[in-house]
Amino acid sequence: MAVAGALIFVETGLTMSLAETVAALKVEPLWAASSGARELFHSDLLQWLAEQEPQTFAKVFGLDPSTAYRCDRERGHLDLRLIPEGKGRALAVENKLFSPPNEDQLQRYEVTFLNRPQMTGCRQTLLSLTDPGWPDNRYGRWSWMSYGTLGDHLVETFSERDDFAGQFACHWGRLCLLLDELRSVVSIDDEDEPYRLSDEVAEHLDKRLRAFADTLRAYQLHGRIRARLVDAENVDVAVSFTRGTALVQAFSEGPNGDLLGWQLQGRQWRLAAMVPQDRQYGGRMCWGRDSDAGEARTLYLAEHYPDHFRFDELDAAGIEAVPAATQKAFQQFAPRFTYQYRNVLGPTVRQLTDVAEATSRRVIRAFGEQRS
């Protein structure tokens, strides 16, 4: 698709196909420029907008355009804070590109410094690509703004400017709209849909766009699993991106410092364990990179947690799974990580959520029995 086609979309709101969205992203220079930072890239541009185009920033975020503001970045890990020089309403912005909002984190901001005198009556905005699912787009004093809304404001304000700053801001707005359009295509819409992207969608995505889609869906799965385990103590559900693939995992710590849990990366469903640095078995250290430590680690885990490395939850959820194509009973990531895995074929979001919850609760029960 030609560049002009992309511009027509973002200025008129016409619906684009996935192929058109991808083509428009590939010719957008700010998509290439943001490859190294992603979320940080957008946070830095928010600061630039607040300092160099304050009236536009005030309009976008509902501030008094006649008031001068001091802009702070990363105070107490909050992405952006604007404090009025005189009378006026302060603003706090937390920016989340992929990850869902952590309500505990937002509440912590309020306790630590949003209750200070200069932040009285502060407008609190969560800017994120993914809808947090808040009723009426509000969570306490926080309100949600989508990247699409930000993009609309930027394009509307700067599309007629012919100076470099104006053109730059307009391109930024177009990038926000394209990201929002891509999100709408690759997001999880239904818990009964396959977790992995369909071949029809994946074939349009290059390596970087596939990483974008995989990471977004991983965070959305993570959010569903966390919601299921909201009442469970001592379980840490997390997302990371390693070896070019998104990874979702959850681990719980036992009374002796051992960690048991699961991981999902690509097609691999892993049941895993991690031992503390001082763990020994038969007089041998379990922590280490050599084969002797690896053997001691597997012997220790096989003896102490024989029921952990069972894949009953996959069967209970009706997920088709293929045993690992290896002669080794256990796989290793030195110096302390040991696991077994199955390749899962076509699981739905609901099935993976069921398996993740059931496995985590089994681990919690096992550690509970140890403590008693």
Asked whether residue 242 is domain-assigned, the answer is yes
Identify whether residues 138 and 283 lie together within a single domain.
Answer: no
The pLDDT, as a whole number, for residue 78 is 83
Identify whether residues 259 and 176 lie together within a single domain.
Answer: no
The pLDDT, as a whole number, for residue 8 is 36
Asked whether residue 315 is domain-assigned, the answer is yes
Percent of the chain past pLDDT 90, that is, above it, reads 51
> What 8-state DSSP symbol labels residue 38?
T
Looking at this protein, which amino acid is placed at residue 11? E
Greater confidence, 326 or 280? 280
Q: Which residues pair with 253 in a beta bridge?
A: 259
Taking the C-alpha atoms of residue 351 and residue 224, their distance in angstroms, rounded to an integer, is 11
Identify whether residues 82 and 162 lie together within a single domain.
Answer: yes
If we measure between CA atoms, which residue out of 45, 46, 64 comes closest to residue 55?
Answer: 64
Give per-residue pLDDT as tens, 82-109. 888 877 788 889 998 877 667 778 888 8
Asked whether residue 147 is domain-assigned, the answer is yes
Residue 141 pLDDT class (50, 70, 90 cuts): confident
Identify whether residues 361 and 311 lie together within a single domain.
Answer: yes
Asked whether residue 34 is domain-assigned, the answer is yes
If we measure between CA atoms, which residue out of 18, 348, 37 comes closest to residue 209?
Answer: 18
Q: Which contacts (CB < 8 Å, 24+ apart) does range 2-9 have?
A: 3/27, 6/174, 6/178, 7/174, 9/177, 9/181
CA-CA-CA-CA torsion sign (204, 149, 151, 48)? negative
- Is residue 342 within 8 A of residue 314, CB to CB? The reply is yes
Percent of the chain past pLDDT 70, that is, above it, reads 92
The pLDDT, as a whole number, for residue 202 is 85
Identify whether residues 155 and 226 lie together within a single domain.
Answer: no
- Calculate mean pLDDT across residues 282-296: 94
The pLDDT, as a whole number, for residue 212 is 84
Residue 62 pLDDT class (50, 70, 90 cuts): confident
> What 8-state DSSP symbol labels residue 331?
E
The pLDDT, as a whole number, for residue 74 is 74
Q: Specify the number of domains making up the chain.
A: 2
Identify whether residues 258 and 346 lie together within a single domain.
Answer: yes
Residue 36 pLDDT class (50, 70, 90 cuts): low
Identify whether residues 236 and 145 lie together within a single domain.
Answer: no
CATH classification at residue 140: 3.40.1350
Checking if the pLDDT of 1 tops 70, the result is no
Name 329's Cβ contacts closer than 8 Å, sequence gap at least 6. Answer: 298, 302, 340
Identify whether residues 139 and 223 lie together within a single domain.
Answer: no
Beta strands at 123-128 and 91-96: parallel, antiparallel or unpaired: parallel
Bond into 194 cis (ω within 30): no
Identify whether residues 259 and 170 lie together within a single domain.
Answer: no
The pLDDT, as a whole number, for residue 188 is 92
Identify whether residues 82 and 221 lie together within a single domain.
Answer: no
Domain that holds residue 54: 3-186
Asked whether residue 192 is domain-assigned, the answer is no
Taking the C-alpha atoms of residue 198 and residue 242, their distance in angstroms, rounded to an integer, is 22
Give per-residue pLDDT as tens, 318-370. 999 998 877 788 999 999 999 999 999 999 999 999 999 999 999 999 998 88
- Is residue 309 within 8 A of residue 323, CB to CB? The reply is no
Asked whether residue 201 is domain-assigned, the answer is no
Identify whether residues 29 and 79 lie together within a single domain.
Answer: yes
Structure tokens at 293: 């430590």
Identify whether residues 33 and 164 lie together within a single domain.
Answer: yes
The pLDDT, as a whole number, for residue 206 is 84
Taking the C-alpha atoms of residue 178 and residue 188, their distance in angstroms, rounded to an integer, is 18
Asked whether residue 354 is domain-assigned, the answer is yes
Give per-residue pLDDT as tens, 170-227. 999 999 999 999 988 899 989 999 999 888 888 888 888 888 889 889 989 998 999 9
Asked whether residue 194 is domain-assigned, the answer is no
The pLDDT, as a whole number, for residue 73 is 84
Kindly report the average pLDDT of the chain as a whole number.
87
